[in-house]
Structure 1
Amino acid sequence: MYREIMAKTLTGKGKINQVIEKELFISNDISKTLGCWIINLKHEIIRENLDIFVKGSYDIQLWYALNNNQKSEVYNETIEFYEKVNMSYRDLKVIDNEIYTKVYVPKYPSCTSMELDENKKIKLKIEALYYVDTFQEALLVVNCSDDYVEDVSIEEEIVMNVNPNYINDVVSTQDGEEHKS
Structure 2
Amino acid sequence: MTIADKQLQRREILTKAVCGKGRKFSTVTHTVTPPHNPTSILGAWIINHQYEAVRSGDGIEVIGTYDINIWYSYNKNSQTDVAKETLSYVEHVPLSYIDPRHRASTEEVTAESTQEPNCIEANISANGSSVVLRVEREFSVEMIAETKLFVAVFPGGDDWEKDVDFHDGDFDDLDPDLLDDEL
Structure whose alpha-carbon radius of gyration is higher: 1
Q: What CA deviation, in whole Å up to 9, does each residue of 1:43-102 have, x standing for no partner?
A: 112234654311111000000012232221100001101232211343353357211111
TM superposition shift of 1:37: 0.7
- The answer (yes or no) to whether the contact 1:112–1:127 under 8 Å persists in 2 is yes
TM superposition shift of 1:7: 2.3
Q: Which moved more, 1:56-65 or 1:109-118?
A: 109-118
- The answer (yes or no) to whether the contact 1:92–1:140 under 8 Å persists in 2 is no
- The answer (yes or no) to whether the contact 2:60–2:109 under 8 Å persists in 1 is no
In the alignment, which residue of structure 2 is the partner of 1:101? Answer: 109
In the alignment, which residue of structure 2 is the partner of 1:42? Answer: 50
RMSD: 2.7
Structure 2 residues without counterparts, runs of 5 or longer: 1-7, 160-183
TM superposition shift of 1:125: 0.3
TM superposition shift of 1:149: 9.7
2:158 paired with 1:152: yes
TM superposition shift of 1:15: 2.5
Pair 1:112–1:137, CA change in 2 (3 A): same
| Correspondence for 1:140 among 145, 149, 161 | 149
Q: What CA deviation, in whole Å up to 9, does each residue of 1:93-116 have, x standing for no partner?
A: 335721111111110001011112
TM superposition shift of 1:33: 0.2
In the alignment, which residue of structure 1 is the partner of 2:164? Answer: none
In the alignment, which residue of structure 2 is the partner of 1:157? Answer: none
2:1 paired with 1:6: no
**Distance in 2 between residues matched to 1:92 and 1:24, nearest whole Å:** 43
In the alignment, which residue of structure 2 is the partner of 1:52? Answer: 60
2:70 paired with 1:80: no
- SS of the equivalent of 2:105 reads coil
Q: What CA deviation, in whole Å up to 9, does each residue of 1:117-149 have, x standing for no partner?
A: 4532322101100111001111123579xxx89
In the alignment, which residue of structure 2 is the partner of 1:176? Answer: none
- SS of the equivalent of 2:106 reads coil
In the alignment, which residue of structure 1 is the partner of 2:33? Answer: 25
Pair 1:112–1:49, CA change in 2 (3 A): closer
Structure 1 residues without counterparts, runs of 5 or longer: 154-181
**Distance in 2 between residues matched to 1:111 and 1:90, nearest whole Å:** 33
**Distance in 1 between residues matched to 2:88 and 2:132, nearest whole Å:** 17
TM superposition shift of 1:8: 1.3
Percent identity, aligned pairs only, is 28
Number of corresponding residues? 150
- Structure-2-length-normalised TM-score: 0.69
Pair 1:95–1:80, CA change in 2 (3 A): closer
